[in-house]
Amino acid sequence: MDSILSNYINYLKSEKELSENSLSAYKRDISNFLAFLKEKYGLNLNEISKTIIISYILKLKNQEKSSSTISRNIASIRSFCGYLIFKGILSNDPTVSIDSPKIQKKKPEYLTLEEVELLLNLPDDSIKGLRDKAILEVLYATGVRVSELVDFTLEDVNVKMGFVACNGEHGKARIIPLGSISRKALSRYLDESRKVFINNNSEEKALFVNYNGERLTRQGLWKIIKYYTKKSGIQKQITPQILRHSFAVHLVQNGADLKSVQELLGHADISTTQIYSEVIKNRIKEVYDKAHPRA
């Protein structure tokens, strides 16, 4: 089973051009399913049935997994079964007529303008502070994902022209403008800070680097944000995703159309972007209820 799983992940990597995060999710989901298949039934892959898959879904529900997690697992299993059919291991698709649970869209958490201002002004003028300031400014100015930010190279950013080139998920490239404040923060980082970190290691092409002069990792980025969250005193669990939400909500609040926000965020479907317009509608309703004498 291990070899089949490895071959499947390699297939996804070469044929589907999925991101490393997506590949990791598929691998984790299918590994757990295969462990269940072996432990509970001791069956071979050609004996996977609809009943077994439903049994696994019930196990996930009993573990109180969220609807989105269960839906992702069903999608992973469906894709894996399609691969098994392609390889001639399964003759029929056991996932047919298995529906994913309805996912209730959660209202996105975001920071107020005042909270963003407070957070972004926390880094000092030290070598580390200049780097952290640039990171926070770019996150809020562009709304990029964690994986996208740590993947940026020097060639991806043009401070003078004011934009970053982002490859995005599934190879969906996009150009994102940089505002004057983020450009200034990036310039100072590149001129005064980055060269100290890399210590003349001119071979490193990553835009953001750590103390060792190597590409900043996702974990390293999370530590930076966690540090400034604690320092800010803001009573919210600030994450890169919340900064991404803040970027989108503030754009819509200031009149940006959803199509433009979709392009900037790199969403494949505009329905994903529509959650931000719902936030604005709810906010307008709150203002009306508080302000109108006959509300």
Spans of all domains in the chain: 2-86, 113-289
Which residues lie closer than 8 Å to 292 by C-beta, 6 or more apart?
none
Residue 255 contacts residue 86 (beta carbons within 8 Å): no
In tens digits, the chain (295 residues) has pLDDT values of 678 889 999 988 888 777 788 889 999 999 999 999 888 877 778 889 999 999 999 999 999 888 888 999 999 999 999 999 999 999 889 998 888 776 666 778 899 999 999 999 999 999 999 999 999 999 999 999 998 999 999 999 999 999 999 886 655 789 999 999 999 999 999 999 999 998 866 789 999 999 999 999 999 999 999 999 999 999 998 999 999 999 999 998 888 888 898 889 988 778 788 888 777 665 555 555 665 555 4
**What number of CA atoms fall less than 13 Å from residue 84's CA on the CB side?**
24
Contact partners, residue 28, CB within 8 Å, separation at least 6: none
Q: What would the CATH number be for the domain defined by 2-86?
A: 1.10.150.130
Between 1.10.390.10, 2.160.10.10, 1.10.443.10, 3.50.50.60, what CATH number should domain 113-289 receive? 1.10.443.10
Buried b (16+ CB within 10 A) or exposed e, 217-226: eeebbeebbe
Tell me, what amino acid is at 138? V
C-alpha closest to that of 212 among 223, 197, 201: 197
Structure tokens at 58: 């019930």
Strand arrangement of the beta sheet that strand 163-166 belongs to: 157-158, 163-166, 174-177
Closest residue by Cα to residue 170 from 9, 25, 18: 18
Q: Does residue 44 come out as left (phi exceeding 0), alpha (psi in the -120 to 50 range) or beta?
A: beta
What value, to the nearest 5°, has the Cα angle with vertex 131 and ends 246 and 177?
45
Amino acid identity, residue 240?
A: P
Structure-token pair, residue 216: 């900043």
pTM exceeds 0.75 for this model = no
Residue 189 near residue 134 (C-beta atoms within 8 A): yes
